[in-house]
Structure 1
Amino acid sequence: MAQTTETREKLISACLIVKNEEDVLERCLKSLRNFVDEIVIVDTGSEDNTVEIAKKYADIIDYFPWNGDFAAARNASIDKASGEWIFIVDADEELILDNYNELQNLKQFLKTASIDVGGIGIGILNISNITFLDVNSIYVNQIRIFRNKPEYRYRGAIHEQIVGKILENGNKIHIYGGKILRHYGYISEIVQKKDKINRNMVILERELKKDPKNSFNRYNLGLEYDRIGKFDKAIEEYKLAVKYLPNYNVGYANNLFKRLVRDLIELKRNKDALKILLDVVKIYPEDSEFYYYYAGTLVNLKKYENALKIIDKAIAMGEPPPYIMHLRGVGSFRAWHLKGRIKEALGDYKDALTCYEEALKIEPFFLEAVDSLIFFLYNQLPREKAREEVKKRFSNVDHEVVIGNIAAFLGALKEYDLALEFTEKIPDSLELKLKKAEIFFWQKKFNKSSELLREIIVEELKKKNPFLYSTGLYLAVLVEVCLNDIDNAKNYYKLLAKEELLSFNEKNYILGCFLESLSSGKLKQVEYKDEFDREKLEKELWQLAATFLSLDKFDEFEIVYNLIESNHFINNKKDKFGKLFYRQEFYDLAAEALLEAVKKHEADDETYYILGKICEMKNLKEEAISFYQKALSEKREFKYYLALITLYNSLQRYEELKEILSEAIRKYPEAEILKALNAVVKKL
């Protein structure tokens, strides 16, 4: 039972509404029991063990028949509470107990708060990734604690609100901030399992029929479209939410613009995003997250010098103020990482390395910076030296997710022995056993991979981590295909298809089309369906093609090739196949496909650059120069300049070298390698 104070009336009543929360409720209640003085739970129709779990911890359990109105259910729980302060908590949240001092300070504040303080805003970390915690969280302040007064009641059938009632009664809101709760409810696998999206959309669409100009409900409907990857639909709702926005100061307005910008960037509509960002940085000048997106958009548009100025501003501003909802790291580790990418694109390699190191110094678990640093080392150093640097820099890493990420990235670089060495750091880790099976797969040690997967899938994965279980099943299908055991592959796929967590999963749909085509001998057409994202379908097809090509499984590759060729929604196929062949080191096939792409007017700057690289390999240097010049005419990329400069230098064509080097320095004045080359050329 929850503890109660002996010297005064109850201070804090935690109020929860629950339905079918057996997977998460105990974690939540355990975290609350030594902090609050009373736990009130209202069940709205659970059909699992939720109520039995609640009985172990709750002081009051009541029942409220679900009527599609969250405010009504929430208010029913408040009616039963007797504490001085109401603390609203959801079952898929937990107190951050390692912030003990902060929790005690919050409790002390509640004991001494002035009488005019009606509500308290506390910091919540919304966790977005099932395999990781705070690094990828969204920080938000919400009014979750307020005085227990009969006039303080929620309104709104969904995403219910209390702030208006507090202010209407002449009281004020105090933003306490801190990091008080973790919220796991919007991890995509959990959302799909609980069918939250369909439930929320039904309620929101019902409410919007009553009031089509309700900006807040439009915003929330956009969020639901976001969660299922329908970014175009989300953008439509966000634009309507902006149109009906009462003013720019309402609590959700700031995040509304962030969501709109992020979705436009996701759909590669960078110019549209930039147009909005130019306005919102004036509306919210204290929010570094907008400057972070501003810089990222400029990077996507290849405007690196301008991007550098903007990201420096974000870094100088630091993290947004605690009262603003924001993605962690936009003014710190994420910003430093983006600056590193910009510096690398500008050829300033020394500063790029410093930026990546700074990002990891601030947040050692930031996997994007880990990947960028490893890739940078392998690009800039001889392979043996890069290997030594990776060992040295990551020797003390002891978190399985980070180790697994390092191992996977090294595997992609074909550094299999070093990757396996990292997986041995925590021998009993399921995550790392799965990575080991994956590395065996890439090494073409299919029997070893199959044996390990059988062991961890059957004995451990399903019980302990459903997400890893589904990942393991997907890999197991591919392994059995490579072993030519199609029956076993189909059995694993049946298990994969049963997983509730895999609704709307393009990856597994494409695998199913391939497997049916392989087993039947007849091509299974990939169909575009409403629940699928077209870009994701295409991405998964290319990824599967790359997998079989890299393993020299040419019969299997041919099936995926035909699946791609037969699909009308994939554009520029010759160009994309050519680039795939190049990445997999099939240079003759790459040249053939890319030259065909040039004839079909599918080529872009990268096409010409790759053709130049292939010509250099074949000692066709004049042709290489021609292709590099064509790439530069399309885009003034640093690597295109460098390729042409290096080639002119090797051919001792110094006049042309000086001319192109001078142009490159004007474009990239901070590039160290260009400065060094210029010093040498001046002596010629």
Structure 2
Amino acid sequence: MTLGLCMIVKNEEENLPRCLESIKDIVDEIIIVDTGSTDSTVKIAESYGAKVFFYEWDNSFANARNFSLEKSSKDWILIMDADDELRREDRDKVIYLVNDKNNNVDIYFGETLSYVGETPGSDIYTNLNVRFIKNGKGIKFKGDIHEQIVFENKGDNVQLVDVKFYHYGYLNKTVEVKNKRKRNMEIIQKILKDNPKDSFMLYNMGTEYVAMGNFLEALNCYKKSYENFNPHLVTFNSKLILKMIYCYEVLGQFKEEIELINEGLKYYPEFTELEFRRAMAFYNRKKYDLAVEALKKCIDMGEPPAVFRDLSGVGSYRAYYLMGLIHFDRENYDDAYKYLDMALKLNSKFTEAILKISQIMFIKNFSVDEIESKLESYFNGNLDENNNLLLSDIFYSKNKFDIAYKYADRSENYKTHSPKVNYYKGILLFYQRKFKEALDSLAKVELGGFYSKSVYYSILCEIFNNQYSNADKLLDIAKNFNENEKTIVYKTFKDIMQGNKYSPIAEDKESSIKFLHPIFDLLEIILKSNSFDEFEKAVQLLNLINDDSILLLLGKLYYKKGYFEFAYKEFIRSIKIYEKIDIEALEMMKLILTCKEI
């Protein structure tokens, strides 16, 4: 039997190649419905042999989706979005289910693993979505947003198949660029205006409010949706309970949170994440024994059935990770190490666990070779660009710049001329005071997210090399970054180093506040590079603003970098000169005296 892909798209030139590459060898037809692309989406689709149709957008995903279904001529229809990717190891499963003549299934649901955050990693949320539809059965979509399937025949057979799709549409950059929140909210508000008690749309509106950080309004929407709770609508209502629990936690409504967890587990006893949320609630309140008890239940329950999956790993590696955090907080580093190791053996891509176990190894004075060997072992020799940069970050945070550079350099083998890699290499060379080599790497960073940072590091390289005219040229470029205070700080530092005349940066307290962050960022960079002569001159920047917190902040910077004697002296000066101190600084002073560092 034949399989055709049906997809609706708009401005998906970044995602579409990845999507089509994942299915091009298993589909017999590609139907692309474009709703108004202004980039190269259509050309990319045509390069894969797609039949491209154009549809005037009418604020209804269901209408566009149904239009695409009408164009399909194949026995089965595969439903995907451009920011989806079929998991490579599931291709044979797709071929098998399409050609299985012994089943009477009309609709297959598959698991969608949605990445969230900055980059694809261990933060994955799971949903069940319609993925395969038997053509000619009258199956359509309904709903302007978060469209659902409707059947003409009550006898339609629906099953869940173990086929997984990665979804990249909820990564921060994608959501921001496409302004999805504004678009979604406008559609949902229109639907609710006509039907204010639509439980599903109230749920969707709550989810949009969560994404915008308005948890109180989100909870109000969820509560209205919960008024029509039906435990038999498992997928929707189990998610609703989970979202409400999350809002209760953020809003500090602990009693209501625990009550809803208990209620949810009565309806859905296999829903492991509810027990995990209990563990998180106890952990956040430092009720560690109760948190451990809940985590043990999570591990006994294991990963939930697909219909209850939301956050991955709640019955396995995340439970062990949280166990590790509890022991870490209690300074039981051996036990913390054991549980974090268990978590990473289950999921080597779990970045948070990698960072925490490396912290323990440094605390326990593992040798650099031991730390490298252990961390690399989790990747089984499969260190890609992101893994190498993660290890580079770990050693960078401990001022092991040569080791950090080694990993950044290795990552270049996986993605030629990557701006991120060149930026990493450049700053790591800077911190090793190899300024000329650093300039070579930083110069390769072109326009993009790392460009402005590279320019500022290049300015410092030129200053430290006494190439002040080159620094001036770079400062002219920096004027275009809309970071006026930062540019002024770097320009003034250059004048101090060059021996030029310089003036106060800000004379009143109100305008001085804007310069605190860029000045102390610069001081931290210089101190981190062990450029003590340059740091001594850079401290003069503090005399050019009018703020009574400068000595307090300078003391905290010294403390952060391990210069405890200097830190203590600056705290004393802050008290004597400005009569200014805070609880954090007092705690630092106490620790310094306890450790007899002065």
* Structure 2 length-normalised TM: 0.80
Equivalent of residue 121 in structure 1, options 109, 119, 129: 109
Q: Residues 64 and 336 (structure 1 numbering): CA distance in 2 closer, same or farther, change over 3 Å?
A: same
Residue 409 in 1 paired to residue 394 in 2?
A: yes
Q: Residues 137 and 380 (structure 1 numbering): CA distance in 2 closer, same or farther, change over 3 Å?
A: same
Residue 341 in 1 paired to residue 325 in 2?
A: yes
Equivalent of residue 388 in structure 1, options 366, 369, 378: 369
Amino acid of the residue matched to residue 137 of structure 1?
A: I
Per-residue deviation, 1:92: 1.7
> CA–CA distance in 2 between the matches of 1:319 and 1:579?
44
Per-residue deviation, 1:274: 5.5
Paired position in structure 2 for 1:646:
none
Amino acid of the residue matched to residue 107 of structure 2?
A: G
Per-residue deviation, 1:77: 1.0
Paired position in structure 2 for 1:583:
560
Paired position in structure 1 for 2:131:
144
> CA–CA distance in 1 between the matches of 2:84 and 2:237?
24
SS of residue in 2 equivalent to 1:356: helix
Paired position in structure 2 for 1:294:
278
SS of residue in 2 equivalent to 1:252: helix
SS of residue in 2 equivalent to 1:16: strand
Q: 2:203 touches 2:225 (CA, 8 Å); kept in 1?
A: no
Superimposed CA distance per residue, residues 453-481 of structure 1 (whole angstroms, 9 cap, x where no aligned partner) = 112x14xxx6xxxxxx4135324324425
Superimposed CA distance per residue, residues 277-328 of structure 1 (whole angstroms, 9 cap, x where no aligned partner) = 4554444432222333332332222222222111222222222211224222
Q: 1:356 touches 1:373 (CA, 8 Å); kept in 2?
A: yes
Compare 276-285 and 36-45 and name the one that shifted more: 276-285
Per-residue deviation, 1:441: 3.5
> CA–CA distance in 2 between the matches of 1:97 and 1:155?
30
> CA–CA distance in 2 between the matches of 1:160 and 1:613?
58
> CA–CA distance in 2 between the matches of 1:356 and 1:11?
47
> CA–CA distance in 2 between the matches of 1:478 and 1:54?
41
Amino acid of the residue matched to residue 119 of structure 1?
A: I
Paired position in structure 2 for 1:210:
194
Identity of aligned residues (%): 26
SS of residue in 2 equivalent to 1:207: helix
Q: Residues 577 and 138 (structure 1 numbering): CA distance in 2 closer, same or farther, change over 3 Å?
A: farther
Paired position in structure 1 for 2:10:
19
Superimposed CA distance per residue, residues 634-671 of structure 1 (whole angstroms, 9 cap, x where no aligned partner) = xxxxxxxxxxxxxxxxxxxxxxxxxxxxxxxxxxxxxx
Instruction: Give the root-mean-square deviation of aligned CA atoms.
Output: 3.9
Superimposed CA distance per residue, residues 234-278 of structure 1 (whole angstroms, 9 cap, x where no aligned partner) = 441243123223215443333344445446656777777556545
Paired position in structure 2 for 1:534:
none
Number of aligned positions between the proteins: 558
Q: 2:219 touches 2:244 (CA, 8 Å); kept in 1?
A: yes
Equivalent of residue 289 in structure 2, options 280, 295, 305: 305
> CA–CA distance in 2 between the matches of 1:38 and 1:154?
20
> CA–CA distance in 2 between the matches of 1:271 and 1:549?
47
Q: 1:119 touches 1:147 (CA, 8 Å); kept in 2?
A: yes
Amino acid of the residue matched to residue 429 of structure 2?
A: F
Equivalent of residue 486 in structure 2, options 514, 534, 539: 514
Residue 247 in 1 paired to residue 234 in 2?
A: no
Q: Residues 388 and 70 (structure 1 numbering): CA distance in 2 closer, same or farther, change over 3 Å?
A: same
> CA–CA distance in 1 between the matches of 2:254 and 2:517?
20
Equivalent of residue 32 in structure 2, options 21, 24, 41: 41
SS of residue in 1 equivalent to 2:326: helix
* Structure 1 length-normalised TM: 0.71
SS of residue in 2 equivalent to 1:141: strand
Paired position in structure 1 for 2:146:
159
> CA–CA distance in 2 between the matches of 1:31 and 1:42?
19
Per-residue deviation, 1:377: 0.8
SS of residue in 1 equivalent to 2:142: coil
Per-residue deviation, 1:85: 2.8
Residue 112 in 1 paired to residue 98 in 2?
A: no
Q: 2:113 touches 2:125 (CA, 8 Å); kept in 1?
A: yes
Q: 2:358 touches 2:375 (CA, 8 Å); kept in 1?
A: no
Per-residue deviation, 1:419: 2.0
Superimposed CA distance per residue, residues 32-66 of structure 1 (whole angstroms, 9 cap, x where no aligned partner) = 23222322222222223322332333554322111
5+ long unaligned stretches in structure 2: 464-470, 493-504
Q: Residues 158 and 516 (structure 1 numbering): CA distance in 2 closer, same or farther, change over 3 Å?
A: farther
Residue 174 in 1 paired to residue 165 in 2?
A: no
SS of residue in 1 equivalent to 2:450: helix
Residue 190 in 1 paired to residue 178 in 2?
A: no
> CA–CA distance in 2 between the matches of 1:260 and 1:580?
41
Q: 2:107 touches 2:130 (CA, 8 Å); kept in 1?
A: yes
Paired position in structure 2 for 1:423:
408
Aligned ranges 1:619-658 → 2 under 5 Å = none
Amino acid of the residue matched to residue 354 of structure 1?
A: K
Q: Residues 12 and 548 (structure 1 numbering): CA distance in 2 closer, same or farther, change over 3 Å?
A: same
SS of residue in 2 equivalent to 1:132: coil
Aligned ranges 1:211-250 → 2 under 5 Å = 211-227=195-211, 230-231=212-213, 233-245=214-226, 246-247=228-229, 249=231, 250=233
Paired position in structure 1 for 2:306:
322
Residue 473 in 1 paired to residue 452 in 2?
A: yes
Paired position in structure 2 for 1:491:
477
> CA–CA distance in 1 between the matches of 2:111 and 2:158?
14
Amino acid of the residue matched to residue 453 of structure 1?
A: L
> CA–CA distance in 1 between the matches of 2:176 and 2:35?
20
Per-residue deviation, 1:204: 2.4
Paired position in structure 2 for 1:72:
63
